[in-house]
Chains A and B, each alone.
Chain A
Amino acid sequence: EAQVTQNPRYLITVTGKKLTVTCSQNMNHEYMSWYRQDPGLGLRQIYYSMNVEVTDKGDVPEGYKVSRKEKRNFPLILESPSPNQTSLYFCASSLSFASGEQYFGPGTRLTVT
């Protein structure tokens, strides 16, 4: 089944404790992206990747890191999480940036206390 998977689905952590949210797709998609969704602010792009080893900042990259060493995986790293990073996070992928039709993962609900 073609899908985007994310782990964990739910996470409660404390300020400053490094964490990684994994994202994997099995559709051989080139473009991958991370979003956060907050009430009243909608979906905002954190980082995106056009292809392996090519990543760039979105609108809200502060406090996040990413890497794209393999085509299928695009982990999101929070080196020192803070309470303002409490949010719902989505990973998405599309065949290419040109195609634009994104498929979203199930989401990760992160709470930082």
Chain B
Amino acid sequence: QKEVEQNSGPLSVPEGAIASLNCTYSDRGSQSFFWYRQYSGKSPELIMFIYSNGDKEDGRFTAQLNKASQYVSLLIRDSQPSDSATYLCAVKAGNQFYFGTGTSLTVIP
């Protein structure tokens, strides 16, 4: 059984701070890694993807991948109240996608 694990939180950060979200996965053959944001009552929305070891930046978001440690993270700089949501880590392995249970983030104004 391929597993993707996230700390469920809740994670609370003050507005303007850096939020750090972490994810580990069990399958060393995993190929690609994704972060989705899900607002309450809404569908998941893709915000970042990363395929290679290292960092990938897109605006206020940075995804970090360490395949040796089987670890993926998402940093959100200058956190805003609108970033308050559940963040889902997803991994592509074989022909399927595997999701973590999500980390709930609250940004406090």
Residues of A within 8 A of B (CB): 33, 35, 40-45, 48, 50, 56, 58-59, 90, 97, 100-107
Q: Which of A44, A50, A58, A105 contacts B43 (CB 8 A)?
A: A105
Q: Which of B31, B44, B96, B102 contacts A104 (CB 8 A)?
A: B44
CB-CB under 8 A for A48 and B96, given A42-B101, A43-B88, A107-B43: yes
> Does the CB pair A59–B96 fall under 8 Å?
yes
B interface residues, how many (CB within 8 angstroms)? 21
Contact mask for chain B residues 51-84; partner A; CB cutoff 8 A; 1 contact, 0 none: 0000000000000000000000000000000000
> 5 tightest CB-CB pairs across the interface, nearest first?
A42-B101, A43-B99, A104-B43, A100-B32, A42-B99
> Does the CB pair B92–A100 fall under 8 Å?
yes
Residues of B within 8 A of A (CB): 4, 31-32, 34, 42-46, 49, 88, 90, 92, 95-102
B4 cross-chain contacts in A, Cβ below 8 A: 42
> Does the CB pair A42–B43 fall under 8 Å?
no
CA distance A52 to B11 in the complex (A): 42
B100 cross-chain contacts in A, Cβ below 8 A: 42
CB-CB under 8 A for A104 and B45, given A41-B101, A42-B101, A42-B102: yes
> Does the CB pair A103–B46 fall under 8 Å?
yes
CA distance A40 to B100 in the complex (A): 10
